[in-house]
Amino acid sequence: MLEQLKKFPFGYYVCCLSFTFERAAYYTAKWGIAIFLVLAAAEGGLGLETAQGAFFSSQIVAWTYITPVIGGYIADRWISPRLLVPIGELMMAAGYFAISRATGTTGVWLCVILVALGTGFFKGNVSGINGRQFANDKSTLTTAFSLQYSFVNIGSFTGTTFITLIATMGGVNGYRTMFMVCAVLMVVDCIWWLVGQKSLGDAGKKPFLIDNRTEDINNANIEEDLRPLTSLEKKRTAAIILVTFLSGVFWLFWYLAYMPAYYEFGPASQGGFGWADWTIGSFEMPTAWFDSMNGLLCIILCPVFAAIWNKLSKKNKDWSMMTKTSVGIMLLGLAIAAMALGGVLFKNTGKPVGIWIIILTALCMSVGEVFFSPLGNSFISEYAPKKLLGTLLGVWPLVIFFAGLIYGPLYNWMSLNFIPTFTGSAIIIFAIGALLLVFTKKFEAMINGTEEERAELAKLNKEV
């Protein structure tokens, strides 16, 4: 493994480290927006209601999921991806600068818009450029992108663990200083990218669809596009739509769980209601460390589970897609249940619950994510009909976009009756996971089809 990594081109690490800088700034600011908005003005915040904090947290998550589709479309056809990346980095820097000077929601909106647009130019295009550095060695792509995911999580963990301390320990201007650091970090990222350009070879110099090293997508076989779907392709499309819908449910409640960690269970000094004790001796942990736990657990667990699935696969005992999805959803249900339990304990005793409730929630969420998150794109790529592949891959982030838009308002409604709504949600989510587990064999039958259906599809693919 290490020998293989040594052979990766330096341009690969230019792309990966760009993600580390960008994700450190993004996840720091994502947490910061939720807290800065609701913190009293005397303590350096804007003094708004938690409903507005949840709303803007929801907005920045949602729009940064959908704009990469637009940025990718532009990079495919018109503008060099290499040029779009630094433009995106500077737009994000401007967004973080805007919120560091915000005196009301106008500055916050400006931050959301600029960061979302900047992410659209940055996120997918850096991955696209990185992948094209391995155009002649596709066998290493899985390893390369797995390592890139580690760089992403290192950025997330670093930002939420260390940069957020500037806010919580920096006095009345701590949050504004923290946002300014995020802006500086993106300028540094831009400089790193521009300096590293020469190590990227030809990757990303031209729009992706006219790059002479890209597969000739524009010459796709017309006959393949026009023929009707076979019965097996229809079943597989239905299965993909089902999994995509489930991903929306999963991410809706996964993101929603952050809100009570910040607000209900957060300490009063960070705009929370004080349901949990975040102190270690005389030190009060930032609620951003809830995010840090997720980043750290993903860094640790992703390679562990990858090794487990690989070992089971070699023995032909790998869990099915639906089994992994079911377990991931049930674990998320347990995370929501842990928060409901924390609410019950606080209401019954009137005393803050121990930090163990936050750790338990983060653990269940993170293990559920590791089960669920890596599956989507690979599952769609493997089973989608060729002519629907781009459409179905595009719907995946679209569903997360809607989940992002919804979770803030949904939390605002649920928080009015916290214990019954969170308890009911936990039961429903867990029941969905358990029900899916029962119907795993039927789902697999949809995917695999009958011998006759597989033979029909294989014949058509061979003819094309």
Specify the CATH number for 9-218; select among 1.20.1250.20, 2.60.40.730, 3.40.47.10, 3.40.50.300.
Answer: 1.20.1250.20
Confidence of residue 463 (pLDDT cuts 50, 70, 90): low
Answer whether 278's CB lies under 8 Å from 292's CB: no
CATH class of 220-464: mainly alpha
pLDDT of residue 3: 53
Residue 319 has pLDDT above 50, yes or no: yes
| pLDDT digits 0-9 by tens, 324-343 | 889 999 999 999 999 999 99
DSSP state of 354: P
pLDDT of residue 259: 97
CA dihedral 304, 310, 313, 319 (to 10 degrees): 30
Q: What is the mean pLDDT of the chain?
A: 87
| In the chain, domain spans | 9-218, 220-464
Do 9-218 and 220-464 show the same overall fold?
yes
Residue 50 has pLDDT above 90, yes or no: yes
Q: Tell me which of 164-178, 392-406, 425-439 is least confident.
A: 392-406
| pLDDT digits 0-9 by tens, 141-151 | 666 777 787 88
pLDDT of residue 322: 82
β partners of residue 283: 280
| pLDDT digits 0-9 by tens, 327-384 | 999 999 999 999 999 999 999 999 999 999 999 999 999 999 888 776 666 677 677 8
| pLDDT digits 0-9 by tens, 262-292 | 999 999 999 999 999 999 988 999 999 999 9
pLDDT of residue 216: 45
pLDDT of residue 383: 79
Separation of alpha carbons 241 and 243, rounded Å: 6
